[in-house]
Structure 1
Amino acid sequence: MTELQRRSEYPRPQFVRGQWMNLNGEWDFEFDDGNVGEREGWNEGSRPFSKKIQVPFCYQSELSGIADTSFHDVVWYRRTLAVPAEYKGKRLHLHFGAVDYEATVWVNGKRVAAHEGGHTPFHADITDVLTDGENVIVVRAVDYSKDVTLPRGKQFWEEKSAGIFYTRTTGIWQSVWLEPVAETHVRRVRLTPDIDRNELKLQAFFGGLPAGAEVSMRATITFQGMPVTEDTFKVTNETESRTIGIHDFNDHGLGRWWSPEKPNLYDLQLTLLVDGQETDNVSSYFGMRKISIEDGVVLLNNRPYYMKLVLDQGYFPAGLLTAPSDEDLRRDVELTKEMGFNGARKHQKIEDPRYLYWADRLGLLVWGEMANAYHFSETYVGRVTREWLQAVERDYNHPCIVAWVPINESWGVTNILVDQQQQQHALAMYHMTKSLDMTRPVISNDGWELVKTDLVTIHDYEWRREVLTERYSEVDKALSARPGNRWILVPGFPYEGQPLLMTEFGGISFKKSDWEGWGYSGAANEEDYTKRLEDVIVPMLKSPVIQGFCYTQLTDVEQEINGLLTYDRQPKIPLETIRRIVEGR
């Protein structure tokens, strides 16, 4: 395995400390199909496991070294750890980027963490259970392969992929790392830019505040290495808020606002002091960016902005949900921009933070979407709500994220048209998301059967240019069309003048590799494919009512061959041809 495939980059780019230890790489591994591991004491760490796995790749993937796609819902991991001498005197936090679906962690036989949710991070302070010399970390992961009330995204509940569903991910699939922190430290920050007031609202959350000591934090903001401002304030509570003026350029072409065209980022250095002595130092960044809706128009930084998104499933042939390398994530952002798109809708996946980092750095709008379940139950409601809360908290600071999508195409709420309980759930997800984040629009049920929503978003795989041109010539025609034989808005939730966006369309299949598969319509050759792209994209660009679109999709995925790129990221027609069509040239 190469160093790139080992995923050696810092896993949490929005909140960086200088000291950390990468725990990716080879771990001992075992299937527990009889679910006997806990009863037999596997968590104590002395039992040898029969397999090796390359973390953070799931056992179903080629890069894991196992590549077994059959059902194994209970799996175990084990590795040893020697703590570096320079970490002595610090609190040691063991971090997991994501483990699908439930995880329990033991260190030296003592349970240190339990977490539910397959797409969100967790950590444990393991300081007090460590010993000198070799320590043993054991992880038990439990998936529920056939449970369709589980938030699972595109992971199929049958053994072989089919239709729009793909190979499952079980266990660790994002990076694992160890981080030393001081007793008194910054736990996290919440950064809210306000371009209208030229201010940054900083909320900081602290751990281990000492009694009787004087604690303060210094926030230093720079732009491209040049000082912008510095603010020092006292810390007396576990949460402190501060509004910092950004006395800097703004509009009139000289601005430092963030956009896909000018992805300007400010660097933020946070230094925590106890009685004048530095105890913690964290690097972060932010973008001065505003997404809003005024008089039924989508605005970016107070100017009308047409979103040209591509649907991105975030799957890779050798790693499935896990990119083989950080460079692969960066390249997906670059390819998206090279084709003329200014954004991506990450579909049914809470994406790796490294992807969001590159979207921030390179300039790409991102719609953050929950990985949905498929059937409704009260158990599902609890699961999806808890995990969505964690997802919004994790990704709140990224300037690239400009919309939240808690539910897609009535997945998990299949009877929302007529079932008031399911309508109330969609409303609850909408309002809960708004209660966490008032700065971004929220789509209650992307595609159709919307309840209360900030954007009216439509999925329509019609391929005839003349039909699309007529259908989206007026708002009333668009709302009454019912593509897929679905209501756009649930009866009782009237249209309130929200912007209309076409957030799934196209899906043209074109076989350009060894993969066999399907699409929503098919092209015979490159010339036909080019014409079919024009036939679906041109009506969106010329529509007087559509304010943005999301083309399906970036890449082929397993049995789907409706990508602009093959599964291994090779363009099906020249990138410049796609760019010309997307830009309307």
Structure 2
Amino acid sequence: MLKPQNSPTRELINLDGLYSFKVDSDRAGLRDGWQQNKLDTALEMGVPASYNDIFTDSTIRDHVGWVWYQREVRLPRGWAGERVHIRLESATHEGKVFVNDVLVAEHVGGYTPFGADITDHVTPGTTFRLTIAVNNELTQATIPPGSIRQTEDGRRHQRYLHDFYNYAGLHRSIWLYSTPSLQVQDITVATGFTGTTGNIDYQIELGGVMDGPERVSVRILDADGKQVAAAAGAEGSVAIHDVVLWQPGKGYLYSMVAEVHNGGKLVDSYTQSFGVRTVEVRGNQFLINGEPFYFTGFGMHEDHVTIGKGHSPAHMVGDFQLLGWTGANSFRTAHYPYAEEVMDYADRHGIVVIDETAAVGLNALFAGFFGEGGKKTYAEDFVNEDTAASHRQAITELIARDKNHPSVVLWSIANEPAAAEEGAREYFEPLAALTRKLDPTRPVGFVNEISGTPETDRIADLFDVLMLNRYYGWYVHTGDLALAERALEAELGAWEEKYGRPIIVTEYGADTIPGLHSLYDQPWSEEYQAALLDMYHRVFDRTAAVVGEHVWNFADFQTSNGIIRVDGNRKGAFTRDRRPKAAAHSLRRRWAQVQHRKPDGQEG
């Protein structure tokens, strides 16, 4: 689904703002048809935002089930004769959209967009009632998974197997937009280059009513808007001479203007930005544009005070500024697809992205950690065929949304699954194959946790890059950095020897209370966090196959209630309100010096 835009043939209206808001405590809304009338509520809720931290009522924060949003929308009278569409960037984790009384769209999966053509249900120049029901429930059939139990006093309690808070609601923008009856429905761009010539392959998919000899053409514009190439046909190739490459730190973008004409008349026009670059894994190197690339940065979260996972342009720019301040050149979208505006910003500014699905918690080890022990991971009552179907959907929708972003260089299809358990290969082999089929231009990986060692892991050979989350010095060998250093180096060496593939350490770090100081290696102190990171970096510099370091985490973030966390996860280099800890300054000094590694693994 192409992102809506204004163009010579399209118009776009943003529907963000305040909505009437009602919590469906008795699970009656769908049964009683709340969409048929004005919501009986005095509450209002802002969109986009999580609703959990907005209200003072704890029953709203802890609610499990459906909530309802509603507002009146006026359709421009100038849209007569156009197709009218609605698009939600996300509804976490399930959404149903009603126009007046009619269900027009529904979707399960909290981090990718969905929508509908609502032309037959609205009249230009008049208003309609927009009602959106959002459900935050997680089950064994969802990605990410979870379970629901009922307490003795009748309350419903959501259990989930990931270590970040299950924020819910309408986290991203809602759009109303018009298109012609015949429209550009999808665009796929793949790029390469030979010498100074860029090679662009494209495919354009049309949708809607075709009533004649439609002609499709494309024009390629450079960053200044000058036409540098053109081609005819819905599928083909085009060359850009004296091409300017998209590079890390230099996000040069071209525009592909796809146009549909009929009888000499412009029917539809859509502009797709893209960058010319290549990505390749060769031996133990990760190459961008044929040059070795070394990842520096973080795993991150969409998480801010009050708005939770709600997208905010100002917060986004602030976070990217801090990434630049530290010297980070990349990040991972842990553990779900981020707002599309984040990807657009990374494209424009040359920030490299590891793009991850919401498949976190596929591991019986964490089931025990979160109070549901005794499970096998790959079993009928846990990760089963229903889970796999949702996982296939998540991969498909992620690639469909983000395939044209030059910033995305690697697909991560899961975070910390049970890679050493029986059944892992049968589950992941078809998913890896699906990812490559949908996008043969990018490497594919998954993020491995510590129980999947070089000796026990069953699936690493299915993937192009080894992505490892390791916590030596924190969860393992806590407080003993000398022992942790030896253990880390031994394991990385074993991976290097067995596979000879690039290794990105995608998580490493220590929980840290800002302002807690110590003369000694005392866990939770700012000095210990900085010393632990320094230890990892010494090992990385001695391991040729390591091509990247992503600290966990960029900033402290909220987690579920529990005694193992003190007001959330405190592994951030920054606090939740983005104040730097000592580690942030340490990382800034290191990343100012880190260069791309030479083919022999030595520092450049």
TM-score range normalised by the length of the shorter chain: 0.7 to 0.9
Task: Evaluate the alpha carbon distance shift between residue 303 and residue 77 of structure 1 in structure 2; reply closer, same or farther with a 3 A threshold.
Answer: same
Corresponding position of 2:238: 244
Corresponding position of 1:338: 325
Task: Evaluate the alpha carbon distance shift between residue 37 and residue 227 of structure 1 in structure 2; reply closer, same or farther with a 3 A threshold.
Answer: same
Corresponding position of 1:536: 536
SS at match of 1:141: strand
Q: Do 1:156 and 1:165's aligned partners in 2 also have CA atoms closer than 8 Å?
A: no
- Following the alignment from structure 2 to structure 1, what is the Cα–Cα distance between the partners of residues 253 and 186? 19
Residue 367 of structure 1 pairs with residue 368 of structure 2: no
Note the C-alpha offset of 1:531.
Answer: 3.5
Note the C-alpha offset of 1:164.
Answer: 6.1
- Following the alignment from structure 2 to structure 1, what is the Cα–Cα distance between the partners of residues 546 and 536? 13
Corresponding position of 1:522: 523
- Following the alignment from structure 1 to structure 2, what is the Cα–Cα distance between the partners of residues 430 and 506? 28
Note the C-alpha offset of 1:360.
Answer: 0.9
Residue 85 of structure 1 pairs with residue 77 of structure 2: yes
Corresponding position of 2:207: 207
Residue 133 of structure 2 aligns to which amino acid in structure 1? R
Corresponding position of 1:178: 176
Corresponding position of 2:467: 457
Task: Evaluate the alpha carbon distance shift between residue 139 and residue 164 of structure 1 in structure 2; reply closer, same or farther with a 3 A threshold.
Answer: closer
- Following the alignment from structure 1 to structure 2, what is the Cα–Cα distance between the partners of residues 547 and 337? 19
Note the C-alpha offset of 1:523.
Answer: 4.8
Residue 52 of structure 1 pairs with residue 44 of structure 2: yes
Corresponding position of 2:575: 566
Corresponding position of 2:387: 380
Task: Could you tell me which runs of 5 or more consecutive residues in structure 2 were left unpaired when the two chains were aligned.
Answer: 150-155, 363-381, 474-479, 559-567, 595-604
Note the C-alpha offset of 1:156.
Answer: 11
User: How many residues matched?
Assistant: 536
Give the one of 413, 423, 426 matched to 1:424.
426
Give the one of 263, 267, 270 matched to 2:255.
267
Corresponding position of 1:142: 135
Give the one of 393, 398, 403 matched to 1:391.
398
- Following the alignment from structure 1 to structure 2, what is the Cα–Cα distance between the partners of residues 116 and 172? 13
SS at match of 1:309: strand
Note the C-alpha offset of 1:402.
Answer: 0.9
SS at match of 2:582: coil
Within 5 Å, give how 1:323-334 maps onto structure 2. 323=311, 325-334=312-321
- Following the alignment from structure 1 to structure 2, what is the Cα–Cα distance between the partners of residues 576 and 40? 56
Which digits, 9 at most, give the CA deviation of each residue in 1:181-225, with x for residues without a partner? Answer: 111111121111112472111111111242224333332322333
Corresponding position of 1:119: 111
Residue 276 of structure 1 aligns to which amino acid in structure 2? G
Q: Do 1:338 and 1:579's aligned partners in 2 also have CA atoms closer than 8 Å?
A: yes
- Which range moved further: 356-365 or 159-168? 159-168
Within 5 Å, give how 1:24-39 maps onto structure 2. 24-39=16-31
- Which range moved further: 46-55 or 262-271? 46-55
Task: Evaluate the alpha carbon distance shift between residue 342 and residue 459 of structure 1 in structure 2; reply closer, same or farther with a 3 A threshold.
Answer: same
Q: Do 2:186 and 2:206's aligned partners in 1 also have CA atoms closer than 8 Å?
A: yes
Using the aligned pairs only, state the percent identity. 22
Task: Could you tell me which runs of 5 or more consecutive residues in structure 1 were left unpaired when the two chains were aligned.
Answer: 1-10, 235-239, 250-255, 481-493, 514-519
Q: Do 1:74 and 1:140's aligned partners in 2 also have CA atoms closer than 8 Å?
A: yes
TM-score by length of 2: 0.81
Note the C-alpha offset of 1:277.
Answer: 1.3
Note the C-alpha offset of 1:64.
Answer: 11
- Following the alignment from structure 2 to structure 1, what is the Cα–Cα distance between the partners of residues 548 and 118? 48
Give the one of 166, 169, 173 matched to 1:168.
166
Task: Evaluate the alpha carbon distance shift between residue 129 and residue 61 of structure 1 in structure 2; reply closer, same or farther with a 3 A threshold.
Answer: same
- Which range moved further: 466-475 or 178-187? 466-475
Note the C-alpha offset of 1:226.
Answer: 3.1
Q: Do 1:443 and 1:454's aligned partners in 2 also have CA atoms closer than 8 Å?
A: yes
- Following the alignment from structure 2 to structure 1, what is the Cα–Cα distance between the partners of residues 126 and 3? 30
Residue 426 of structure 1 aligns to which amino acid in structure 2? F
- Following the alignment from structure 2 to structure 1, what is the Cα–Cα distance between the partners of residues 405 and 578? 25
Corresponding position of 1:435: 437
Task: Evaluate the alpha carbon distance shift between residue 67 and residue 242 of structure 1 in structure 2; reply closer, same or farther with a 3 A threshold.
Answer: farther
Note the C-alpha offset of 1:274.
Answer: 2.0
SS at match of 2:415: coil
- Following the alignment from structure 2 to structure 1, what is the Cα–Cα distance between the partners of residues 415 and 33? 41
Note the C-alpha offset of 1:23.
Answer: 0.7
Q: Do 1:290 and 1:301's aligned partners in 2 also have CA atoms closer than 8 Å?
A: yes
Which digits, 9 at most, give the CA deviation of each residue in 1:359-387, with x for residues without a partner? Answer: 11112111111112444122211112112
- Following the alignment from structure 1 to structure 2, what is the Cα–Cα distance between the partners of residues 219 and 560? 48
Note the C-alpha offset of 1:33.
Answer: 2.5
Within 5 Å, give how 1:300-311 maps onto structure 2. 300-311=288-299
Q: Do 2:18 and 2:47's aligned partners in 1 also have CA atoms closer than 8 Å?
A: yes
Corresponding position of 1:192: 190
Residue 323 of structure 2 aligns to which amino acid in structure 1? T
TM-score by length of 1: 0.84
- Following the alignment from structure 1 to structure 2, what is the Cα–Cα distance between the partners of residues 155 and 359? 35
Residue 352 of structure 1 aligns to which amino acid in structure 2? A
